[in-house]
Amino acid sequence: MAGQEIKEYFNATENREIRSDLTFAVNHVGDLKIAIDCGCGAGADIQYLSAMGFKVYGFDIEDESISRCKNRFKNNQDIVLSQAGFNSFEYPRASLVVADASLFFCPKIDFESAWRSIYECLYPKGIFCGSFLGPDDTMAGLEYDKSAFWPDILIFDEKEVREIFKDYEIFRFIEHKSSGKTPQGIAHDWHIFSVVAKKLNNSCKKNA
């Protein structure tokens, strides 16, 4: 059962503005429009992708997210929702994988396998659009209270982010640093790397 903070976060973000990275990424997807939204939250990106003509597979570890999205998109056959984590989700083939502010919470031990699954599910020339938490973010600090939201925090520095994209061509790499307040009104320093990249046309790397 989701805590109050998570419900408030989903309330505050369900109709949030679509980030420019995603509109940019969508413009780089070819004719086949199949997207996966990893950690789909309240469904803002699903709504946008569906409106852009995508079949969308959304998954999230939170029952609150998936029950909201099931209700929100109940009349849309082209939106498939699963309650799953990064490592339990069965990734269908896709031309776009979105992971906006969700890999922040992937348990470190699961990341390598999740990242491989994302790579493998993408068709050649498929697009990844997502973000990674930097070390100067409030959430990366020792004093950050992890109990209200998701307990695992995964931090990357710029070199580490660039390294995991060695099998992609990076189209857009932006380091975001700012200070302000969260949708719940709490002071926060943000440090985020957002990336849009194209899978290189290599053979499958599963057994490499």
Ligand X SMILES: C[S@@+](CC[C@H](N)C(=O)[O-])C[C@H]1O[C@@H](n2cnc3c(N)ncnc32)[C@H](O)[C@@H]1O
Q: 3-state DSSP: the chain helix, strand, coil percent, rounded to 5?
A: 30, 30, 40
Pick from 46, 47, 50, 60: which binds ligand X (CB under 6 A)?
60
Tell whether residue 47 is a contact of ligand X (CB under 6 A). no
Pick from 47, 50, 95, 102: which binds ligand X (CB under 6 A)?
102
The identity of residue 182, as a single letter, is T
Pick from 101, 154, 155, 170: which binds ligand X (CB under 6 A)?
101
**Paired tokens of 100:** 């906006």
The identity of residue 109, as a single letter, is I
Provide the angle, in degrees to the nearest 10, between the axes of the packed helices 4-13 and 63-72: 30
Tell whether residue 106 is a contact of ligand X (CB under 6 A). yes
In three-state secondary structure terms, 196 is strand
State which of positions 118-157 bind ligand X (CB under 6 A).
Answer: 150
Q: Which is nearer to ligand X, 19 or 198 (CB)?
A: 19
Task: Please tell me the count of residues contacting ligand X according to CB under 6 A.
Answer: 17
Query: Which one-letter DSSP state was computed for residue 155?
Result: B
Pick from 7, 13, 80, 172: which binds ligand X (CB under 6 A)?
13
Q: Which is nearer to ligand X, 76 or 202 (CB)?
A: 76
- d(C-alpha 163, C-alpha 93), whole Å: 24
Q: Which residues contact 33 (CB under 8 A, 6 or more apart)?
A: 52, 53, 54, 55, 95, 96
Interface segment toward ligand X; rule CB under 6 A; list 24-32, 48-56, 58-66, 198-206? 58-66
Q: Which is nearer to ligand X, 95 or 117 (CB)?
A: 117
Binding site for ligand X (CB under 6 A): 13, 39-41, 44, 60-62, 65, 85-86, 100-102, 105-106, 150
